[in-house]
Each structure stands twice: as C-alpha cells, then as structure tokens.
A and B are shown apart, each in its own frame.
Chain A
C-alpha cells in the first residue's frame, strides 16, 4: 500500500489530502496510475466510489474499482452512450450470429433428412 511508504495513493494525491493507513482508495489507486482515479472521480465522484467500495466485500473491491474505471473511461470517450454503446453493438452481433446459427442448423437438418431419404431410395427401401 502506497501509504506505508509515505507516498500518497493516486486518490489522495488528486484530492490533496493525507493518505492515511486506512485509506479505502489506496490499494486500488496506486500513485503510478493517476489517470485511473482522475477518470473515476470525474464520472462518479470520490464519495460515490467510496460508498460503493464500502458496500462490497473487500475481496471484490479490486474488481469493482476496475469496472468503475472501465465505465468511466468509456464514458469519457463517448459522453452520450458510454459503455452502453458497446452493449448495444454486442447484442446486435449476438442476435446476428444466433440467427445465422439457426439457419445453418436448419440447413443441416434438411441435409440430414435428405440424405436419409436418398439413402432409403438408393437402397431400394432400406430403412434409414
């Protein structure tokens, strides 16, 4: 933790406050990644992030911070849709592939039944 080495975490550096030993941000916002906290602070606000971190179990906080950082970055790149735009694109892709898979499976079924009937006729009544 950065506060053990007298180096404030990125959050406390940004907020210009003393980084105490129990700083909730310190484990997840190392001083060498200042942009991460800056982005999260800009979109969510430090107090909201702090509340979220306090609501989740300690072993989940790293993932929570990383997902917040991801969303914040997405929102800064696309202020209108943020990461929701990516969800939209992915959903359309999933729907398209599902349709294509259904069509391909339908074709497979058709071939399977055709081969069965052709075999039957080829073998003069042999049951397929």
Chain B
C-alpha cells in the first residue's frame, strides 16, 4: 500500500509538499486518493503529533489508530465545540431513554402476562374477570412505548456523566458511525457477535 513505492506521494507528503520516502510512516494509511483524510487529521492534530502517536504503536494497530483519528478530526471539524464528545453525550442520553422505555415496556408486559394467565385460568373456570380489558387500553399503552425524539441535553449535563474510557475495558464492538467500517475489534474485546454495522450520517 506504500504509495511511495510507485513514485506517487502519499496524501500526507503531498499535503506537506515533501518527498515521500519508502519508510514514510503515513504512506500506508493516507493513500493519495484520500487527500481530505490527512488534511483533516493535520488540521486537528498536526502531522508531528500523529507521527509521534503512530510511532508509539505497534504497526498492526496503526491503521485503526489512523482511522479513529480521522473520525475524531472529522467530528471536530463538523462540530468545533464538542467534536466526538457530542456524539458520546447523545448516545448516552439515547441509552438512558431506551433503558427507561424498556423498563416500562417490560413492566407492562409482566402485567399482561399475569393477566393473560389469570384470564386463561378463570376462563377455564367460567369466571368473567376481564371487564374493561377489551376497550383498547392495552393497545394505547403499547402505542405509548415509542422512541422519544432525542434532543441534545442541556449544556450542564454534557460533561457531568461522561466517563473517560479505560483502554482495555470495552466489551467489544465495531464502530458504526460514518465512513469508518474497517475497525477490527478492540484488543481487549470479547465481542458477543462481532457484527459490523454502518450508520451513514
């Protein structure tokens, strides 16, 4: 993949207007046909910081590192105030809402399950217990369990609940945002299904 081997400078060296050497650290990850990728990373992180970062990593990890940096840079350029943190906040908020919705739905379900068992029992005994249950109440309750329209939550909540993730504590997962589709699973991950999803933004 080293574009320098074909005399075509990589996107980084093209951007930096320098000769692309065979040992160029950027060449494998910044092909000349993706100039914006390096331009974004350079703008947000700077070439020397990226070089230091890559040099600190094992070669097998560098592609994922570059792609995550490219993603962060892209998010930061789209949202100079919050960058990726805005995405994290939104997802955490979404998760909290889903947990509430699921808890309500399961609570309703357990009621209906009990009612269903009771009804079956009493039906077999010829006892009429379900007055009112046929008026659509159950359906209305189901309709209420819809996804909320999540909005960004207030500024004061933006940073309060954020935890900085430790390096090896992920439960496994494949990134699903934007154009990044080629991450391997995090090294400490034990992914439960290894499923890759793509969410075009």
Which chain B residue lies CB-closest to A117?
B134
- In the docked arrangement, what's the CA distance between A87 and B174, Å? 9
A84 and B71 form a contact (CB under 8 A): yes
B113 at the interface (CB under 8 A from A): yes
B83 and A114 form a contact (CB under 8 A): no
Contact partners of A48 in chain B: CB under 8 A: 43-46
CB distance from B50 to the nearest CB of A (A): 10
Interface size for chain A: under 10, 10 to 19, 20 to 34, or 35 or more residues? 35 or more
- In the docked arrangement, what's the CA distance between A55 and B53, Å? 26
Q: How many A-B residue pairs have CB under 8 A?
A: 220
Contact partners of B72 in chain A: CB under 8 A: 71, 75, 82-84
Report B62-113 residues with CB < 8 Å from chain A CB: 64-65, 68-69, 71-72, 76, 80-88, 91-92, 94-95, 98-99, 101-102, 105-106, 108-109, 112-113
- In the docked arrangement, what's the CA distance between A91 and B171, Å? 12
A64 and B91 form a contact (CB under 8 A): no
On chain B, the number of residues with a Cβ less than 8 Å from chain A's Cβ atoms is 79
Q: List 20 A-B pairs, Cβ < 8 Å.
A: A45-B49, A47-B46, A48-B44, A63-B82, A70-B159, A71-B76, A81-B170, A81-B183, A83-B165, A84-B71, A84-B180, A89-B170, A91-B177, A91-B199, A104-B109, A104-B145, A108-B105, A112-B138, A116-B134, A118-B120
Report B124-179 residues with CB < 8 Å from chain A CB: 128, 130, 133-135, 138-139, 141-142, 145, 147, 155, 158-159, 162, 164-168, 170-177
- In the docked arrangement, what's the CA distance between A92 and B189, Å? 13
A100 at the interface (CB under 8 A from B): yes
> Quick one: given A63-B158, A83-B72, A92-B173, are A56 and B81 in contact (CB under 8 Å)?
yes
B119 at the interface (CB under 8 A from A): yes
Q: Chain B residues in contact with chain A, CB under 8 A?
A: 43-46, 48-49, 53, 56-57, 61, 64-65, 68-69, 71-72, 76, 80-88, 91-92, 94-95, 98-99, 101-102, 105-106, 108-109, 112-113, 115-116, 119-120, 123, 128, 130, 133-135, 138-139, 141-142, 145, 147, 155, 158-159, 162, 164-168, 170-177, 180, 183, 186-187, 197, 199
Of B64, B82, B183, chain A has the most CB atoms within 10 Å of the CB of B82
B112 and A112 form a contact (CB under 8 A): yes
Which chain A residue lies CB-closest to B47?
A45
A82 and B68 form a contact (CB under 8 A): yes
